C-alpha cells in the first residue's frame, strides 16, 4: 500500500500535463496550468511545498519569474515570511542588482531590488521547476550579494536527469516531484 505522501505525489503527477516539443523541439514542457486548475491539487501543492520548512523560521521566500510567483506568496504566508520577486530584465521599477547566467544558446539575466533582502535574512528560493539549475543559482547569487543566507530551495518538479541539484550544491533541496 502507498503512504499518504506517495499518494499525494501520484495525484499531483497525474494532474501535470506534459507537452512535447514546447516551446521548441526536444523539450518535454511540464504544464502546471492543469495543476492550478484542480482545487485539490492546488491545496496539496501549497502544503507539500511549505511543510518541509515549517520549523525553519525563514524570513523571505524568493520566487522566480514567472511561475515561481504562483505559489511563492502562499508559501511565504504559511511560513510567516515575506515574499521577494526575482524578475527578468527591465521589469523592476526601483534600483536593482543583476546576475547573468548561461543558457544552452546564449545568456539570460535575472534582477532583484537592491533593498529586497537584509543582511542575515534566512531565504528560501522557490520556482515551479528546476531543470539545469541555472536560474536558481543566479537567484542564489543575488540573495548572497545582498547578505542573505539561502537555507534551502523549494520546487514542485525536479528534472533529475539535468543535474540541477548538483549545480546548486546545497544540502537542502526540497522537490515535491523528482522526475
Q: Based on CB atoms, which residue is closest to ligand AMP, 130 or 143?
A: 130
Best CA proximity match to 49, nearest among 177, 150, 176: 176
Q: How many CB atoms lie within 10 A of CB 27?
A: 12
Least Å from the CB of residue 79 to ligand AMP:
21
Q: Based on CB atoms, which residue is closest to ligand AMP, 18 or 80?
A: 18
Are the beta carbons of 92 and 110 closer than 8 angstroms?
Answer: no
Least Å from the CB of residue 162 to ligand AMP:
7
Active site residue 87: no
- Give residues in contact with ligand AMP (CB under 6 A): 27-30, 64, 67, 127-136, 164
Kind and range of the H or E element at 167? Answer: helix 164-168
Least Å from the CB of residue 3 to ligand AMP:
27
Say which of 67, 99, 111, 165 is annotated catalytic: 67
Are the beta carbons of 96 and 112 closer than 8 angstroms?
Answer: yes
Q: Based on CB atoms, which residue is closest to ligand AMP, 74 or 140?
A: 140
CA distance 95 to 111: 10
Which residues form the catalytic set? 67, 104
Amino acid at each position: 500500500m502507498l503512504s499518504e505522501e506517495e499518494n499525494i505525489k501520484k495525484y499531483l503527477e497525474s494532474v501535470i500535463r506534459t507537452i512535447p516539443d514546447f516551446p521548441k523541439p526536444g523539450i518535454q514542457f511540464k504544464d502546471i496550468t492543469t495543476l492550478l486548475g484542480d482545487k485539490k491539487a492546488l491545496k496539496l501543492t501549497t502544503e507539500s511545498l511549505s511543510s518541509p520548512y515549517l520549523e525553519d523560521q525563514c524570513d523571505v521566500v524568493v520566487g522566480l519569474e514567472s511561475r515561481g510567483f504562483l505559489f511563492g506568496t502562499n508559501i511565504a504566508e504559511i511560513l510567516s515570511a515575506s515574499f521577494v520577486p526575482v524578475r527578468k530584465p527591465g521589469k523592476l521599477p526601483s534600483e536593482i542588482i543583476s546576475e547573468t547566467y548561461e543558457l544552452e544558446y546564449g545568456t539570460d539575466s535575472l534582477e532583484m531590488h537592491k533593498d529586497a533582502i537584509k543582511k542575515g535574512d534566512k531565504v528560501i528560493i522557490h520556482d515551479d521547476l528546476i531543470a539545469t539549475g541555472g536560474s536558481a543559482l543566479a537567484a542564489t547569487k543575488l540573495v548572497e550579494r545582498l547578505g542573505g543566507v539561502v537555507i534551502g530551495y523549494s520546487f514542485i518538479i525536479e528534472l533529475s536527469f539535468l543535474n540541477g541539484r548538483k549545480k546548486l550544491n546545497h544540502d537542502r533541496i526540497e522537490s515535491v516531484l523528482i522526475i
